[in-house]
Amino acid sequence: MTDDAETADPVTPGTVRRHAVPHRARPRVAVVSLSQGTRPEDLRRGLDSVLAQQGVELDVVCVGNGWEPTGLPDGVRTLALPENLGIPAGRNAGAEVVDGDHVFFLDDDASIPSVTFLQDAVARFERDPSVGLLQPRVVDPTGAANPRRWVPRIRKGEPDHSSPVFSVWEGAVVLPMDVYRVVGGWGAEYFYAHEGIELAWRVWDAGRRAWYAGDLVAHHPAIDPARHTEYYRLNARNRVWLARRNLPAPLRPLYVGSWAVIQVARWWRHPRRLATWFAGIREGWTTDCGPTRPMSWLTVARMTIAGRPPVV
């Protein structure tokens, strides 16, 4: 399936209706950059890459997650959060204060090298209204090896190959604003890890597709996510929350069980790591996961036909 294909998706409850948008000379894109203030040079580089965009109108906000953003380029508004609310909640806070037909979320250590990136992304949505979320190909600009996890599909193939996907790397993501509103934004409860899977799933449940655009590029350094001390616990807890929040009840143990098998296969030589992971699994089943919104069985069928049933 090509990224230009015109796909007629069925209308389901919660589906984003595809209304005609009044023609503008240039599309308006809301941009949310999230930062804790620890990478000022990277943040500046990312914001400069946004402000250099051609062919679009911009409304840009930098969200200070627990700090007051300062020293930013002209054309960037700021939103200071009094404490670190976590990555997804910080993005949601920024999206509430910007306006646009589309919204672009950019992490503070990412940038977009092409000055027509946003224009090209918007054109992709206009050519194929079945697409409700777009993640670009991610490249380390220093030439370091790009992690395979940046291509969010089981069969990685070539990184420049575009395809529908069922999770996203969250550091550079574009959505039509109406889709973002209907899916409810990012899952604030996660704090860190797996909010990109839920966002993709809910886009599918809204009758659209999440799309990996291999011909569009974002820059990001190749960093191991396990550098975060809470990575293993939150990874496991949020796997369970993801299932509880989004899957029909019969699929929840299948999803969590399949990932338990995968993690044991990966980490059987690291018993301490596995112990932390399984403690996170227990936490996921016994703690409040926030509001639930199980996807329809029609969405399960659409995802399965498209290549990945939501059990792995």
- Percent of the chain exceeding pLDDT 90 equals 82
In whole angstroms, give the CA distance from residue 215 to residue 261: 34
- Is the model's pLDDT at 5 over the cut of 60? no
pLDDT value of position 11: 38
pLDDT value of position 228: 54
As a whole number, mean pLDDT of residues 175-188 equals: 98
As a whole number, mean pLDDT of residues 100-119 equals: 98
pLDDT band at 225 (very low <50, low <70, confident <90, very high): low
pLDDT band at 8 (very low <50, low <70, confident <90, very high): very low
User: Which residues are 88's β-sheet partners?
Assistant: none
CB of 136 within 8 A of CB of 294?
no
- Is the model's pLDDT at 112 over the cut of 70? yes
pLDDT tens-digit profile of 18-52?
444 455 579 999 999 999 999 999 999 999 999 99
Neighbours of 176 (CB within 10 A): 25
Residue bearing tokens 């999803």: 255
Q: At the top level of CATH, which class does the domain 28-223 belong to? A: alpha beta
pLDDT value of position 226: 56
As a whole number, mean pLDDT of residues 256-260 equals: 95
- Is the model's pLDDT at 106 over the cut of 80? yes
Looking at every residue in the chain, the average pLDDT score rounds to 91
As a whole number, mean pLDDT of residues 186-214 equals: 97
